Amino acid sequence: MHVKVKASDMMKYGPGTSSVFHENSNMSGPVEWETLLLKLNDSKRYRRTVGSIAGSCLKAATPQLASLEQAACLVALDIVVDGICALDKVEAAYRKEVEAKEAIEEVIQLCSLYQLKDTIDVADDGADENRLLPAMNKIWPFLVVCIQSGKPVVVRRCLSVISTVVQVCGGDFFSRRFHTDGPHFWKLLTTSPFQRKPKLKEPGTSLQLPYRSISISSEESLAEVSNLKVHIAVLNMIADLAQNKRSASALEVVLKKVSGIVVGIACSGVVGLRDASVNALQGLSSIDPDLVWILLADVYYSLKKKDLPSPPTSDLPEFSQVLPPPSTPKGFLYVEYGGQTYGFDVDFSSVEVVFKKMHSLVFSDQIYY
């Protein structure tokens, strides 16, 4: 901005202004422009050093995302999110430097300050500054492995990191990746956090170590809470990506499936996931409010036997004809779009609460013509 303002002031005087530099104290002399160029060159070298260091850190940390050690994974995830944010700043700085250099070159041309051309660094094509997306392309498969690790703390942190890097890099880059690797994410949501996995019976009695004070029931309870937190983390990631215009396109290809899964969770009796699912639905509604409304209305009005809304005019069909009630629970639209869910039973009281919440948060603001 400093260079742009000075360049704008120079442009007011037109060509040949070099001869009047010392006559007008408000105009910058060649020495000041040379100083600006030197600062610009120093900035370029500093930026490229920072980019190189950030890239090296990412290269070293990325394989650790697949580590079996939880501590190593968590440290690597911190490095990844910081490194990606650093590369984003580096590329933004590069674009600003290009703008500043172009403004100075215009002043040199306009004011015939050709002696300053030697001060300008040789122009680069920006290839070495295209670091962000190539780095993310190498990191993504390891993030997917991290999601598959089964360690609740690592998975939750990884989901938070993914939410940040998608917003930094832009959703378009991740659209195909979510389409291909999305099942690994949605799998975390399609099983109730309170559904216990069947354990294979083994002959003999399990050895109870004397120093273990945690009972089996306590371990199971802890696992349920951990799984619940993982569900909330996935829903928060969906909400963050959907609500941000820069990242929302990452979900467009999988919007029907994701919306179906989230509606299924919102309509279940798992009250602990209600706020997170409503938040996710509110985010998804910013992409396609009609889709979310139809999925919720299909459940709400199918279960609501009384006081169904009448069509505003006789030209429109009855609600039951627009969204006919399904013959089986598997016939709900959210199941058809999101796929079969396990352990999530529809609870009408939850459906009613969520539908009314969404009506006040989103649907009442929609105007149709």
The verdict on 76 and 180 lying in the same domain is no
Q: Round to the nearest angstrom and report the end-to-end CA distance of the chain.
A: 45
**Residue 229 and residue 108 share a domain:** no
Do 236 and 338 share a domain, yes or no? yes
**pLDDT tens figures, 177-188:** 999 999 999 999
pLDDT tens per residue, range 277-299: 999 999 999 999 999 999 999 99
Q: Are 22 and 81 members of one domain? A: yes
More confident position, 107 or 130 = 130
Q: In which region does residue 339 sit, left (phi positive, over 0), alpha (psi from -120 to 50) or beta (all else)?
A: left
Q: Is the pLDDT of residue 59 over 80?
A: yes
Q: Which residue has the higher pLDDT, 280 or 24?
A: 280
Residues 68 and 187 in one domain: no
pLDDT at 131 over 60: yes
Average pLDDT over residues 180-199: 78
pLDDT of 340 over the 80 cut: no
| Last residue in a domain, options 129, 154, 185 | 129
Instruction: Give 227-246 pLDDT, tens digit per residue.
Output: 899 999 999 999 999 999 99
Residue 156, pLDDT > 60, answer yes
**129, 161, 181 — which closes off a domain?**
129
- The closest of 124, 93, 109, 104 to 35, measured between CA atoms, is 104
pTM score: 0.83
**Would 19 be classed as within a structural domain?**
yes
Would 214 be classed as within a structural domain?
no
Please indicate, yes or no, if residue 209 is contained in any of the structural domains: no
Segment 200-210 shows an average pLDDT of 47
**pLDDT at residue 31, as a whole number:** 82
Number of structural domains in the chain: 2
Q: Does residue 227 sit in the same domain as residue 310? A: yes
Query: Cα–chain-centroid distance for residue 260?
Result: 19
Average pLDDT over residues 314-318: 79
Evaluate whether residue 137 is within a structural domain: no
Q: Are residues 111 and 185 in the same domain?
A: no
Angle at 206 between CA 200 and CA 208, to 5 degrees: 140
CA atoms of 171 and 277, how far apart (whole Å): 21
Whole-number Å distance between alpha carbons of 217 and 211: 17
Burial 119-145 (b: 16+ CB within 10 A, else e): beeeeeeeeebebbeebbeebbebbbe
Mean pLDDT in residue range 260-264: 94
Across-strand partners of 342?
A: 191
pLDDT band with cut points at 50, 70 and 90 for residue 331: confident
Q: Can you give the three-state secondary structure of the chain, one letter per residue? A: CHHHHHHHHHHCCCCCHHHHCCCCCCCCCHHHHHHHHHHHHHHHHHHHHHHHHHHHHHHHHHHHHHCCCHHHHHHHHHHHHHHHHHHHHHHHHHHHHHHHHHHHHHHHHHHCCHHHHHHCCCCCCCHHHCCHHHHHHHHHHHHHHHHCCCCHHHHHHHHHHHHHHHHHHCCHHHHHHHHHHHHHHHCCCCECCCCCCCCCCCCCCCCCCCCCCCCHHHHHHHHHHHHHHHHHHHHHHHHHHHHCCCCHHHHCCCHHHHHHHHHHHHCECCHHHHHHHHHHHHHHHCCCHHHHHHHHHHHHHHHCCCCCCCCCCCCCCCHHHHCCCCCCHHHCHHHHHHCCCECCCECHHHHHHHHHHHHHHCHHHCCCC
Q: Judge whether 59 lies within some domain.
A: yes
CB 34 within 8 A of CB 116: yes
**C-alpha span between 24 and 358 (Å, rounded):** 65
């490229």: which residue's tokens?
48
Instruction: Please report, rounded to a whole number, the percentage of residues in the chain having pLDDT higher than 90.
Output: 51
Say what the pLDDT of residue 261 is: 94
Are 189 and 330 within one domain? yes
Please state, rounded to an integer, the average pLDDT across all residues of the chain: 83
Q: Are residues 336 and 275 in the same domain?
A: yes
Range of the domain at 259: 170-193+223-369
Nearest to 270 by CA among 185, 190, 347, 332: 347
Please name the amino acid found at residue 168. Answer: V
* 176 lies in the same domain as 29: no
Q: Does any domain span residue 212?
A: no
CA–CA dist 32, 18 (Å, integer): 13
**347 located within any domain:** yes
Question: Is 310 within a domain?
Answer: yes
Give the confidence band of 128 by pLDDT, cuts at 50, 70, 90.
low
Same domain, 77 and 181: no
The mean pLDDT value for 294-315 works out to 81
Query: What residue has token string 């999530």?
Result: 344
Tell me which range, 1-5, 79-83, 185-189, is most confidently predicted by mean pLDDT.
Answer: 79-83
Dig out the tokens for 348 from the structure: 């009408």
Q: What is the pLDDT of residue 193?
A: 73
225 or 72, which is more confident: 72
Place of tokens 């993030």: 143
One domain for residues 188 and 116: no
Could you tell me which residue, 223 or 91, shows the higher pLDDT?
A: 91
* Maximum mean pLDDT: which of 19-28, 196-205, 341-350: 341-350
Could you give the CA distance from residue 111 to residue 223 in angstroms, rounded to a whole number? Answer: 72
For the ranges 6-15, 249-258, 268-277, 352-361, the maximum mean pLDDT occurs at 249-258
